[in-house]
Amino acid sequence: MPPPPPLLILKDLRLGFGGHPLFQGVDVAVGRGDRVALVGRNGSGKSTLLKIAAGLMDAESGEVFVQPGTRIAYLTQEPNLTGFATVHEYVVAGLGPEQQHEEHRVDIVLDEVAIDPAADPATLSGGEARRVALARILVSQPDILLLDEPTNHLDMPTIKWLEDRLASFRGGFVVISHDRAFLNRLTKVTFWLDRGVVRRLDQGFEAFEAWSESVMETEAVERAKFDKLIAQEVEWSHKGISARRTRNQGRLRRLRDMRNERAQQIARTGSVKLETEAGPVSGKLVVEAEDITKTYGDNVVLRPFSTRILRGDRVGVIGPNGAGKSTLLRILTGQLEADTGTVKLGTNLTMEFLDQARSRLDLDKTVWETLADSGGDSINVRGRVRHVVSYMRDFLFDDRQARSPVGSLSGGERNRLLLAKVLARPSNFLILDEPTNDLDMDTLDLLQETLAEYDGTLILVSHDRDFLDRVVTSTIAFEGNGVVREYPGGYADYERQRVIGDKPAETAGASRKDGPGSTTSTSGGAAKPKRKLSFKQQRALEQLPLKIAELQAAIAAQEKILADAGLYARNPAAFQKATDTLQAHQAALASAEEEWLEVEMLREELEG
C-alpha cells in the first residue's frame, strides 16, 4: 500500500535579501506522523523557512502546497499576547471557525500548563507566555505543527510535558530547537539548512552530528581534488564548529573523574564529619553552607540545606520556574541572607555573575564598546591581549557587527555578547543563571568548550539537560515544597539516582539529607549486592576495540581510493560509491567509539 501523500509541500523555494539568496532550490515535504528536526546555523534561514511554510511570508519563487482541509499551527519564537484581556480569550482565538463549539478544551489544556484562564496576558513571565502560546496551538488539534524554539524559557517539568504531548501527537511536526535531548527523543527525520540548501537525513537528530561531519569531510576531499574552494567566510564558520563537535574522550574521562571526586564531597556534606573537616586550606574552599533556609511569608523556598563547594567544582542547579534557584544563588554568593543557617565564602574569590535578565548590557552602546569598555581596540581576555574583532569572531559574530548597537541584536546575539564579556574577565568563581537561553547549537558547543577549559569554580542554572550532562560534576535539585538535594553527576545521573530508591546510587558512595534534620547514608543497613556489567556490555567491551580497528582500516582504504585525483573523471560512479562508503564507515566509527567509552566508564565506575 503506497504511503499517504504529504500534507505540506515546499517546492523549489528561493528567497534572498539584498541580492544574496538566503536559500534556493528548497524542496521539503511533511506528512502525517512525520517528526522533523530543522537544523542549521543562526542566520541560515530556518525561522524564515518556517514562516513561509506557515503562510506568513512569501518566497521570491517556488510553490507552497497545502492539502485541502489541512490545519497548520505555528509557534513563533516570541509569542505576541497583546490585544487580549485574558489568557482564555487568547487561547480561544486559536480555535478554527468549525471548532468554536469545542471551547471546553481550552481550560483543559490551560490546566495542563498550570496557567489561570482569567490571568492578564500582560502580567505573564516569559516562560508562562510560552506555555500559553503552546496551549493555543495544541487546542486547535492541527494536522501539522511548526515549532520555532518551543522549549525556550520552559522549565524541565514543562519540557517533559511537551515531549509527552508531541510523542503522542497524531499529526506531523517540524521543530527548530537547540535542545539536543528534546530533539533526540522526538525526531525521526532531519532537514539541514546549510549555505542555502536543504539536505535530508532519514534519521532523527541523534544521528545528525556524525552525518554532518561526514558530509563536510567529503566536501573537503572534493575541494582538495578539484581545487573548488568554498568562500573563505564559509570555510571559517565551519572549521571551528567541526573541531568542537569532535568527540574528545580525554575530556569525557576528566569530567567523569571530577564527578567521582565531587561524589565524595557530597557524601561528607551534612554528615558528622562536616564539623571536623571545616577550615580547609585557604583558597580551596569556595562556598560552605550549613542548614540554610529561606521563607517568604507562607512560601517555603528552602528547607535546611547544606553543601560544600570546593575550588574546581562545577555545580548544576535545576528545578521548576519559580522554585527558588536564583534565590539559592544569591544566598550562596553572599548577596542575600538566609533566614537560618550559615554561609561561609572562601578567600581570594573573584566572582563573575551572569543574570537571567542580562541587565549588564547597555542597548545604546555598540558591540565594540561593550567588549572594549575601557576604550581602544583591544581587550584583555583572562590575561591575554586580543583585538576586539578577533575576539568577536570566537563568539560567531561577523566583523560588520562590531559597530552595530546592542539594541539591534537578536536575543541569542545579546546572550552571546554578554557571555563574551563575562568570560573575558579574569575570575575564579563563575555563576551563570540560564546562560543557554536563546543560544543556537554552535554557540552551545562554544560555551561547553570554554567552560571545559575554565580552571575556576562554576555554578550553573540551566534547563538544558544535554548541556548539564556535558559540563557539571554535581547537580543541586529543587524537588518541591522547599526540599533541595545534591546528587553527583549531571542531569542523567540525577534522574537515574532518583529512580534508585530515591537516593544517590550506591556506586557514588554518596549520602544526602532525606528531609529537614535527617541524614541517610549508604553505609547503614544491609549491604546491597555489587552491580556488574551485563553479559551484553561485557561482550561489547571485548569486541568494540576490534570493530573500531577494522573501521579505522576501512576508512583508510576508502581515503586512499579517493586520493586518486583522476578517479572522478574516469569513473564518477566509483567515486560516489567510495564517498558513500567512507561516510558510512565514519558514522559507524563515531558510534562505536562512543559506545565503547560509555561502557568503559561504567566498568571503571563499578569497579571503583
Residue 222 CA to residue 568 CA, distance in Å, equals 9
Note the pLDDT tens digit of each residue in 407-449: 888 777 888 888 888 888 888 899 998 888 777 787 888 888 8
Residue 262: per-residue pLDDT: 67
For the CA atoms of 372, 416, 127, 166, what is the dihedral angle to 10 degrees?
180
Asked if 8-212 and 251-350+428-434+456-520 have one fold, the answer is yes
Residue 273 has pLDDT above 50, yes or no: no
Q: What is the pTM of this model?
A: 0.69
Note the pLDDT tens digit of each residue in 372-415: 888 888 888 877 888 989 888 888 888 888 998 988 887 778 88
Q: At 234, is the pLDDT very low, low, confident or very high (cuts 50, 70, 90)?
A: very low
Residue whose entry in the numeric block shows the C-alpha cell 528561493: 14
Tell me which CATH code domain 213-246+531-607 carries: 1.10.287.380
Q: At 599, is the pLDDT very low, low, confident or very high (cuts 50, 70, 90)?
A: confident
Residue 471 CA to residue 440 CA, distance in Å, equals 17
Residue 230 has pLDDT above 50, yes or no: no
Mean of the per-residue pLDDT values of the chain? 81
Residue 405 DSSP one-character state: B
Residue 140: per-residue pLDDT: 87
Residue 607 CA to residue 531 CA, distance in Å, equals 9
pLDDT over 70 percentage in the chain:
82
Note the pLDDT tens digit of each residue in 10-54: 999 999 865 667 888 999 999 999 999 999 887 788 999 999 999
Angle at 531 between CA 530 and CA 534, to 5 degrees: 145
Tell me which CATH code domain 8-212 carries: 3.40.50.300
Of 1.20.140.10, 3.40.190.10, 3.40.50.300, 2.40.70.10, the CATH number of 251-350+428-434+456-520 is 3.40.50.300
Residue 381 CA to residue 92 CA, distance in Å, equals 52
Which residues, at least 6 apart from 74, have a Cβ–Cβ distance to it below 8 Å? 50, 51, 54, 56, 137, 146, 148
Over residues 492-521, mean pLDDT: 50
Residue 137 CA to residue 244 CA, distance in Å, equals 36
Give the domain ranges of the chain: 8-212, 213-246+531-607, 251-350+428-434+456-520
The neighbour count for residue 88, using CB atoms within 10 Å, is 20
Residue 555 CA to residue 387 CA, distance in Å, equals 40
Note the pLDDT tens digit of each residue in 357-369: 666 788 889 999 9
Residue 275 has pLDDT above 50, yes or no: no
Residue 145: per-residue pLDDT: 97
Residue 182 CA to residue 356 CA, distance in Å, equals 22
Note the pLDDT tens digit of each residue in 300-357: 999 999 999 998 999 999 999 889 998 999 999 999 999 999 999 988 888 888 876 6
Residue 514 has pLDDT above 50, yes or no: no
Residue 231: per-residue pLDDT: 45
